[in-house]
Amino acid sequence: MKEVLVVRHSVGGRTFIHTEQQPMEYSVMRMGQGWRITLIITQDVDIHEILRWKQELNVFLFREYGDQPAMKIWFYVKEGLVIYDEPLKQLTIFAESRIEYIPDEFGI
């Protein structure tokens, strides 16, 4: 399975992080009613811009399988926390909800 994590500005569509273009370690964990997405920032990422737009972020997880259609998981940050720990170079995003779907099923 191939997996790519993308962090975008939901209004303007600007991509802040794309792990296929800028590889970095990340994890996605269920926490209570939501999800915690943690990234170790090893690339040149504009953390200040991410924090500036923290209430307008969407996080996408794309999973590609060799024997089945690709899956897209769309995490909504909404009022969730977005925290950057500078000494650890760790960005943590708390998403309140998510939707899983197969993009191929929504063709025109």
Q: What is the DSSP string of 73-99?
A: EEEE-TT--EEEETTTTEEEEEESEEE
| Residue 43 DSSP class | S
Strand arrangement of the beta sheet that strand 82-85 belongs to: 26-31, 34-40, 90-95, 82-85
Give Dmax over CA atoms of the chain in angstroms.
47
Residue 108 clears pLDDT 60, i.e. is over it? no
* Residue pLDDT, tens place only, 1-54: 899 999 999 888 899 999 999 999 999 999 998 999 999 998 889 999 999 999
For the entire predicted model, the pTM comes to: 0.90
* Dist. CA 80–CA 91, nearest whole Å: 13
48-92: per-residue pLDDT in tens? 999 999 989 999 999 999 898 899 999 988 888 999 999 999 999
What pLDDT is attached to residue 74?
94
Pick from 20-24, 96-100, 102-106: least confident: 102-106
* pLDDT at residue 39 in the model: 98
